[in-house]
A and B are shown apart, each in its own frame.
Chain A
Amino acid sequence: MTIVGNFIGGKITHSASNETIPVYDPATGKVVRELTQSTAAEVEKAIEVAHAAFPEWSKTAPLRRARVMFNFKALMEKHREELAALIVSEHGKVWSDALGELTRGIEVIEYACGIPHLIKGENSPSVGTGVDSYSLMQPVGVVAGITPFNFPAMVPLWMFPIALACGNTFILKPPALDPSASVRMAELLKEAGLPDGVFNVVHSSNEDAEQLYKDPRIAAVSFVGSSGVAEHIYKTASAHGKRVQAFGAAKNHAIVMPDADLDATVNAIMGGAFGSAGERCMALPVVVAVGDDTADKLIARLTPLI
């Protein structure tokens, strides 16, 4: 049985504890892989490695950092099907959905390739006699990302391409339910030319991951998950001096007016409510139909499709 490892300092590593947890294929209920479980000390080691890698990476010219992202995009496209297969085997989403998630994630890498332009500051010559003023946008340091099970590739890709392109180093704690895509992306980043220690993946219990919200070497935390955990992370990490963005739960509503194009609306609702089995924070689980006639017509069209 394959063990999904950490990726720390440019290498796949397994916890010295030899502790693992099973990863299941939701379509069959069978164990497909084992996932290494790091000790608290090993999480701390990842922080140390990312911290040590920061000075050199942050001084690398943005243009050179962008070139790594260009290479990474090419490798992600080359290995799309391999990544989609990993996602499907652990998350259970259908093949086209896995490819779709990768496309949206790769689009963020494309955006990050423009970093030399994106981090330009502002410039005001002659604010006083012989005095000029300008601003710089500098990296913050080591950044932590904690991501949810529903988009094992896309949500990490929302975070790390931009974080790395800006000159930060990164520690990703991916979802335990579907961890493999993250580790594969770490390998591809190395192949793309990213120096060791700049991007790290660590698997641990939530308890041992709390260090990421408290360790003074971590400057920023990005989280996507439930609102309860989002609030906890926001409060904990903020209290420890970090900047935090924590995205939580959703209950998206759609208002359907009597003048809506009903057939198009029904198609839209089907995809929104049932795509990815509704496991999206942008799913569409509630429809507010204006007028009983609208509601009756919607239900009549939806029922046979569902």
Chain B
Amino acid sequence: MGPVVSAAHQKKVLGYIDKGEQEGAKLVVDGRGIQVAGHAEGYYVGGTLFDNVTSDMTIWREEIFGPVLSIMRSSDYDSALQLVNSHEFGNGSAIFTSNGHTAREFVQNVEAGMVGVNVPVPVPMAFHSFGGWKRSVFGALNVHGPDGVRFYTRMKTATVRWPSGQQTVSEFSMPTLG
């Protein structure tokens, strides 16, 4: 794991860790103040772990885009799914289970465009198309793969007859060809 991309972003991520603490999440591993030998001026943020995160917290609601992991606790699958689906973003989602039925239910019912079963980062292959749901996407077609081809082309449909005297009268009504 390297540094985050900029000084501004480092500050933003550190701010989220502060916020998580302030809002009552349990800070299990604190990535603030990390020092990387020989890279004193680098934009490093250490891996951070929060427990007891709840859906009223900023660190749950907003995308942090940094090395901050939040653990939430749910009593059963149905409320876990409801929690997942309540979020405004729907890019990717995953389930870790050895039960095929649960996995199948999850794949069918989760409100996300890219789903992993025992796979944490279910990014579609180049020959499929990438894209999420809800506020993670604006537009009708996903990127790369078959959707990519559709997005970057426009359809033209031709109807062709090579007449040799067939059309003997004008046709003013809706043409039916059969």
Contact = CB atoms under 8 A, between A and B. Distances in A.
A235 B60 CA distance: 27
A278 B106 contact: no
Contact of A299 (B6, B51, B102): B51
B71 to A, nearest CB: 5
Interface in B126-164: 126-127, 130-132, 135-146, 148-149, 151-163
A26 B41 CA distance: 8
A127 B94 CA distance: 47
Given A245-B139, A260-B98, A177 B5 contact: yes
A304 to B, nearest CB: 9
Interface in B97-143: 97-99, 102, 106, 112, 114, 116, 118-123, 125-127, 130-132, 135-143
B75 interface: yes
Interface in A52-100: 88, 91-94, 97
Contacts of A248: 89, 135-138
Contacts of A24: 6-7
Contacts of A140: 152-154
Q: Which of B5, B7, B93 has the most CB of A within 10 A?
A: B5
A208 to B, nearest CB: 21
B63 interface: yes
Contacts of A178: 5
Interface string A261-276: 1001100110111111
Interface in B31-66: 31, 39, 41-43, 45, 47-49, 51, 53, 60-66
Nearest to B166: A130
A12 interface: no
A94 B130 CA distance: 24
A281 interface: yes
Contacts of B93: 252-255
Contacts of B43: 26-27, 29, 92
Contacts of B94: 252-255, 268, 272, 284
Given A128-B178, A268-B118, A288-B84, A282 B143 contact: no
A222 B70 CA distance: 31
Contacts of B7: 24, 29
Contacts of A259: 97-99, 102
Given A158-B130, A261-B98, A269-B69, A274 B1 contact: yes
A41 interface: no
Q: Which of A131, A137, A272, A288 has the most CB of B within 10 A?
A: A288
Q: Which of A94, A243, A275, A282 has the most CB of B within 10 A?
A: A282
Contacts of A264: 96, 118
B154 to A, nearest CB: 5
Contacts of A220: 151-152
A283 B65 contact: yes
Interface in A89-123: 91-94, 97, 104, 107-108, 110-111, 115, 118-119, 121
A287 B153 contact: no
Contact of A94 (B2, B84, B161): B2
Contacts of A265: 96, 118
A282 B121 contact: yes
B4 to A, nearest CB: 5
A209 interface: no
B5 A250 contact: no
Contacts of B68: 273, 278, 285
A94 B157 CA distance: 49
Closest CB pairs A-B (n = 4): A128-B177, A272-B120, A29-B41, A250-B91
16 contacts: A26-B5, A107-B127, A129-B177, A140-B152, A220-B152, A245-B131, A250-B63, A250-B92, A253-B87, A255-B95, A278-B68, A279-B4, A283-B121, A284-B121, A306-B29, A306-B69
Interface of A: 24, 26-30, 88, 91-94, 97, 104, 107-108, 110-111, 115, 118-119, 121, 127-140, 143, 149-150, 158-159, 162-163, 166, 168, 177-178, 220, 222, 224, 226-227, 230-231, 233-235, 243-257, 259-261, 264-265, 268-269, 271-292, 295, 298-299, 302-303, 306
Given A29-B42, A248-B137, A285-B63, 4 more contacts: A94-B2, A107-B125, A111-B126, A162-B144
